[in-house]
Amino acid sequence: MGWTFVSETHEPMQKLLLPYRGKEITNREWDKLVKEELVKEFGSRAQYVHASDHCSNMKNVGACDCAKTGRALVTRVRRGRPSYYLVL
Ligand SMILES: [Zn+2]
């Protein structure tokens, strides 16, 4: 997925994450939020937008331009199944 589309999801995702600021969420909780809310606005391709695409300490190929910057939405705190992310 291209970074331009992923970057379009940045602000809507930031709004969805407001209630979780300062808390940890799992990648499963992120995916649930995406499926229940983001897909309504952006269609099914939004289901492929992952926490790791808006992350302060990692940068995937095709990630949002916030990756590894102070604008990132989350920091990955624990890797695994599930992975944990701190909402910034
Ligand atoms: Zn972003």
Give pLDDT tens digits for 43-66: 999 999 999 999 999 998 999 999
Q: How far is the centre of ligand 1, averaged over its atoms, from the C-alpha of 59 (Å)?
A: 11
Can you say how many angstroms the Cα of residue 16 is from the centroid of all Cα atoms in its chain? 10
Q: How far is the centre of ligand 1, averaged over its atoms, from the C-alpha of 3 (Å)?
A: 9
CB atoms within 10 A of CB 74: 26
CA distance 67 to 52: 8
- Could you give the number of structural domains in the chain? 1
Phi and psi angles of residue 52, each rounded to the nearest 5 degrees, phi first = -65, -10
Which residues neighbour ligand 1 (ion) by CB within 5 Å?
A: 10, 54, 64, 66
Q: Which domain holds residue 12?
A: 3-87
SS3 87: strand
Which pLDDT score is estimated for 29? Answer: 97
Per the prediction, the chain carries an average pLDDT of 94
Give how far Cα 13 sits from Cα of 45, 67, 81, Å.
14, 14, 22
Q: How far is the centre of ligand 1, averaged over its atoms, from the C-alpha of 40 (Å)?
A: 18
